[in-house]
Structure 1
Amino acid sequence: MKTNLFFVRHAHATYTPDELSRPLSKQGLFDATNVTSILKDEKIDIVISSPYKRAIQTVDGIAQLRDMEIVLKDDFMERLLSDGPVDNFLQAITAVWENEQLSFKGGESNIIAQARGVKVTKEILSKYEGKNIVVGTHGNIMVLIMNYFDPQFDFAFWKQLTMPDIYKLSFDGHELVDVYRLWSSQNH
């Protein structure tokens, strides 16, 4: 019995230092309507999201269309790079991808963040076997999860993601059998 996860990387957000309540930008809100349009023809059984506002806002349209509550799962929140700002984000994110055990002060290594994301993914695959599940999440944690199931999803893959982006991952049990990119902001 095939289970489909529709990983939705959140749309563009307005920067604020408060990660949890950072909202979508005007462009992000517009792109979130496109996410709803793309997913409306899929038979969605459940909508799950990171607790971050920008992830919730990106999948809220499909939840409303299906008259569903969004189930919040903390483990789909973005990987914590450090407990404060880093001097050079690209340099820092490159370093943690090059050394999966590296972590900055108060942050998560790739191994730690991936374990968190994979654990919740496997729980969902078991609990909702045979269902179509939308997961509102973030780029880095999404790719770390995908990388666990197939190493081709790596740092180079992460760098080409757009905001938003949608990937349909099909599973047989806990085995990834297919990945298909439904949409990205580059073709809209």
Structure 2
Amino acid sequence: MNHNIYLVRHAHSVYTPDELHRPLSERGETDTKRVTQILKEEHIDYVYSSPYKRAIQTVQGVADFLRVNVLIEDRFKERRLAKKPVADFTHAITKVWENDSFFFKGGESNKMAQQRGIQGLMKVIEDHPGKNIVIGTHGNIMVLMMNYFNEAYGFQFWQELDMPDIYKLTFTNSRLIEVTRLWK
């Protein structure tokens, strides 16, 4: 049975250290209209999101169009890099991608974050067989989920993502058979 998962990286946000409540920027809010327009054509059945405000805001227009609630799934939240903010983000993120078992104190390794994300993804697939499902999420966890199925989706791929971005993953049961970028 085929079904599609639409991984939506959140739109541009206003930086605050409050991960949970960080809102979209004006540009991000504008881009969500385009996200909605693209996904209106995809016959979506369910809309899921990370609990982070910016991810919810990015897919809220799709849920409103469908007249459904955004279903919150904690396993789609962004990977935790460290307990405290890191001094050099570029160095830190490069290090965790170079060694998928490495993690900073209080953070998640790539393997840990990937396992969490895949558990959420497989649960959604299991709960809604044959359905088209939008998942509002974040760049790192999105790429880690894609990487689980194909190692070509790695650090460089993550660096090239747009904000927002949309990837349609077509599955037969739980086997990924095709990936299509919808955001252009």
TM bin (shorter chain): over 0.9
SS of alignment partner, residue 33 of structure 1: helix
- Please give the per-residue CA displacement for 1:106-126, whole angstroms capped at 9, x wherever unaligned: 000001000000111111111
Counterpart check, 1:74 vs 2:63: no
Q: Percent identity?
A: 55
Q: 1:2 is matched with which residue?
A: 2
Paired positions, count? 184
Distance 2:33 2:84 in 1: 32
Q: 2:63 is matched with which residue?
A: 63
Distance 2:21 2:176 in 1: 32
Task: Structure 2 unaligned segments of length 5 or more: list them.
Answer: none
Distance 1:161 1:84 in 2: 25
SS of alignment partner, residue 182 of structure 2: strand
What do you get for the CA RMSD once the two structures are aligned?
0.6
Query: 4+ residue runs of structure 1 moved beyond 6 angstroms?
Result: none
- Please give the per-residue CA displacement for 1:19-47, whole angstroms capped at 9, x wherever unaligned: 00000000000001110011111100000
Task: Structure 1 unaligned segments of length 5 or more: list them.
Answer: none
The alpha-carbon deviation at position 129 of structure 1 amounts to: 1.0
Distance 1:111 1:6 in 2: 22
SS of alignment partner, residue 17 of structure 1: coil
Distance 1:93 1:182 in 2: 26
SS of alignment partner, residue 112 of structure 1: helix
The alpha-carbon deviation at position 127 of structure 1 amounts to: 1.1
Q: 2:102 is matched with which residue?
A: 102
Aligned letter for 1:51?
A: P
Q: 2:129 is matched with which residue?
A: 129
Distance 2:127 2:103 in 1: 32
Distance 2:173 2:66 in 1: 25
Q: Report the TM-score when normalising by structure 2.
A: 0.99
Q: Report the TM-score when normalising by structure 1.
A: 0.97
Q: 1:172 is matched with which residue?
A: 172
